[in-house]
Amino acid sequence: MKKLKILYIANGNSIHDLKWISYFSKQEENYSCYLLCDTLCEISEETKVAIENSSIQLVKQINPISIKSPIKTWKAIRQYKKIVKDIEPDVIHVLFATPNALWLNFSLTPSIITMRGSDILIVIPALLNQVGVKSIYFTFLFRQFKKAFLKANLVTGTSFPQIEKATELFNGANLTLVRTGVEVEKINIINQNELIPNFLREKEFVFSPRFMAPIYNIGFQLDAISKLNRKMIERFTFVFIRGKQFDEEYYQIQLNRLNQLKVDINLTYHVIDYLDQPLMWMFLKKASLCLMTPISDGTPNSALEAMAAKCPLVISNLNYDKDLFENTCVKLKSFDVEELVEVIEASLTHYDETLLERAYQQVLAQGNRTVEMEKMVQVYNTIR
Same domain, 150 and 101: yes
pLDDT higher than 90, residue 131? no
pLDDT digits (tens, 9 = 90+) for 31-79: 999 999 999 888 888 889 989 999 999 999 999 998 888 999 999 999 9
* Segment 345-374 mean pLDDT: 95
Q: What single-letter DSSP state applies at residue 182?
A: B
The Cα–Cα gap between 160 and 316 comes to 17
Same domain, 203 and 169: no
The Cα–Cα gap between 379 and 226 comes to 49
The Cα–Cα gap between 247 and 161 comes to 26
* Segment 90-108 mean pLDDT: 97
The Cα–Cα gap between 195 and 293 comes to 26
Same domain, 244 and 169: no
Same domain, 125 and 208: no
The Cα–Cα gap between 297 and 318 comes to 7
Same domain, 274 and 144: no
pLDDT digits (tens, 9 = 90+) for 313-326: 999 999 999 999 99
How many C-beta neighbours within 10 Å does residue 324 have?
22
Q: What is the mean pLDDT of the chain?
A: 94
Q: Which residue has the higher pLDDT, 81 or 69?
A: 81
Share above pLDDT 70 across residues of the chain, in percent, rounded to a whole number: 99
Domains in the chain: how many in total?
Answer: 2
> How confident is the model at residue 210, as a pLDDT?
94
Same domain, 167 and 232: no
> How confident is the model at residue 1, as a pLDDT?
67
pLDDT higher than 90, residue 175? yes
> How confident is the model at residue 245, as a pLDDT?
73
Share above pLDDT 90 across residues of the chain, in percent, rounded to a whole number: 86
How many C-beta neighbours within 10 Å does residue 377 have?
15
Q: What single-letter DSSP state applies at residue 214?
A: G
pTM of full prediction above 0.75: yes
Cα separations in angstroms, 157 against 112, 174, 299: 11, 11, 9
CATH number at residue 102: 3.40.50.2000
Task: Name which of 341, 355, 279, 343 is nearest 312 in CA terms.
Answer: 355
> How confident is the model at residue 15, as a pLDDT?
81
Same domain, 147 and 27: yes
The Cα–Cα gap between 6 and 20 comes to 12
Strand-by-strand arrangement of the 91-95 sheet = 56-58, 31-36, 4-9, 91-95, 111-114, 154-157, 175-177
The Cα–Cα gap between 101 and 96 comes to 8
The Cα–Cα gap between 328 and 355 comes to 5
Q: Which domain holds residue 270?
A: 184-366
Same domain, 167 and 192: no
pLDDT digits (tens, 9 = 90+) for 246-279: 789 999 999 999 999 999 999 999 999 989 899 9
Residue 174 pLDDT class (50, 70, 90 cuts):
very high
Same domain, 17 and 93: yes
Same domain, 242 and 147: no
pLDDT higher than 90, residue 363? yes
Same domain, 362 and 379: no
Same domain, 156 and 279: no
Residue 53: strand, helix, or coil = helix
E runs forming strands in the chain: 4-9, 31-36, 56-58, 91-95, 111-114, 154-157, 175-177, 204-208, 236-241, 269-272, 289-291, 313-315, 330-331
> How confident is the model at residue 61, as a pLDDT?
94
Residue 244 pLDDT class (50, 70, 90 cuts):
confident
* Segment 298-310 mean pLDDT: 94
Report whether 8 contacts 101 (CB < 8 A): no
